[in-house]
Amino acid sequence: MKLLLIRLCFATALFTVGIVPVALASDTAVILMYHRFGESHLPTTNTTVAQLEDHIAALQDGGYTVVPLADVVSALNGEHNLPPRAIAITVDDAYRSFLTTGWPRFKAAGFPVTLFVATEGVDAGYSDTLTWNEILTLQRDGVVIGAHSHNHSHFPSLSAATVAQDLAEMSAAFERALGDVPDVFAYPYGEAGRADMTAVRNAGFVAGFGQHSGAVGPLADRFYLPRFALNEQFGRLERFRLIIETLPLPVVSISPVDPVLQSNPPAITIELTDSLPNLENVTCFGPSGEQLNVVAGTNTVSVNPTSSFPAGRARLNCTLRSVDRLTQGRWYWYGWQMIAEFESEGIAVHPRYR
Ligand SMILES: [Zn+2]
């Protein structure tokens, strides 16, 4: 880690002494999330090989820099700048197709990847899930391992004690299998309430990742960071080119602050640090893709859904095209995932995503 920091400081120094203009240094990034590769019988979590190769080619061609996820986190903490158009790649659930199909292509492109692993499925030896030996091999090959719970349960449906127990069992499993516990965490299904975020922070993790869309910047909540989910539907090249260009809206707070909703539909208020010249053009979409009623103030956006969100994950997406001279035409994208209702503790949840 120390070596990495020295290397990063050196890279940042290059930015500041003029080899690359200072204005190009950035504090924003886009984080991508994949699950399966070349498994077209499961299109909702799969990316086809052709799509993956298109994505890699797009990232190689367009002035992007794929950086380790840890660099995004430390940049958000103000420790250094990121290169312009920084992208981080994450993969959830440790399916075997990452080893056979995804990683060889990312590795050939020189792209770092973080693999978020739910430990119980690996311990159980599911046929489509990597073994600990395979995960260890990937780690030695440069893949960074992240944590993704033990049981892959819906955290907001669990008591605080059960969440704490799951995190403890997960950490013990990582310690046993890899000799170390990861320092970044991805919530199963991207679902987290404030209590779950606190539990993950208290367990020693430095960042928590959701599955809501959006770019990240210095104002982003370190324990509820957005990632753009890619699958066969959302991995089309045209959309991919759009999301890797997105910018974070300068959102300083959202109300209600807890993603686990106490009232449904919620009255949502997003507060920005600054007014954007065309904020009145912001458009927000609800969980079914429906356009929501929005009122833009000087530096606030009020979103007023007129009907209840369906039970479970409820994603909000707000977008605005930039009219800034340096970023003109790119989209600001702010996403947030709420839990409209959740299952009660005791319902058996299969430890694999979908
Ligand atoms: Zn998962």
Rounded distance from Cα 299 to ligand 1 centre (Å): 35
Q: Is residue 349 part of a domain?
A: no
Rounded distance from Cα 325 to ligand 1 centre (Å): 39
Distance CA 13, CA 171 (A): 37
pLDDT for the residue 4: 40
Per the structure, the count of domains in the chain is 2
The domain that contains 84 carries what CATH number? 3.20.20.370
Rounded distance from Cα 352 to ligand 1 centre (Å): 6
Rounded distance from Cα 353 to ligand 1 centre (Å): 5
> Which burial class, exposed, middle or buried, applies to 126 when counting CB atoms under 10 A from its CB (0-12, 13-18, 19+)?
middle
Alpha helices, DSSP H, located in 151-298 = 160-178, 194-202, 237-243
Query: Who contacts 135 (Cβ-Cβ below 8 Å, separation ≥6)?
Result: 94, 115, 117, 122, 145, 177, 178
Domain end among 186, 218, 248: 248
Residue 167 near residue 149, CB atoms below 8 Å? yes
* pLDDT lower than 50: segments of the chain: 1-23, 344-354
Rounded distance from Cα 310 to ligand 1 centre (Å): 21
Residue 223 near residue 197, CB atoms below 8 Å? yes
pTM here is 0.90
Q: Is residue 346 part of a domain?
A: no
- What is the end-to-end Cα distance of the chain in Å, rounded? 35
pLDDT for the residue 310: 86
Q: Domain range spanning residue 267?
A: 252-339
Alpha helices, DSSP H, located in 87-186 = 96-97, 103-109, 119-124, 132-140, 160-178
Give the up-direction half-sphere exposure of residue 89: CA atoms within 13 A in the CB hemisphere. 23
pLDDT for the residue 56: 98
pLDDT for the residue 352: 30
pLDDT for the residue 157: 87
Rounded distance from Cα 126 to ligand 1 centre (Å): 14
Give the up-direction half-sphere exposure of residue 175: CA atoms within 13 A in the CB hemisphere. 6
**Residue 21: is the preceding peptide bond cis (ω within 30°)?**
no
Domain end among 213, 248, 283: 248
pLDDT for the residue 169: 98
Do residues 58 and 73 share a domain?
A: yes
Rounded distance from Cα 49 to ligand 1 centre (Å): 20
Q: Is residue 348 part of a domain?
A: no
Distance CA 79, CA 87 (A): 17
Do residues 95 and 220 share a domain?
A: yes
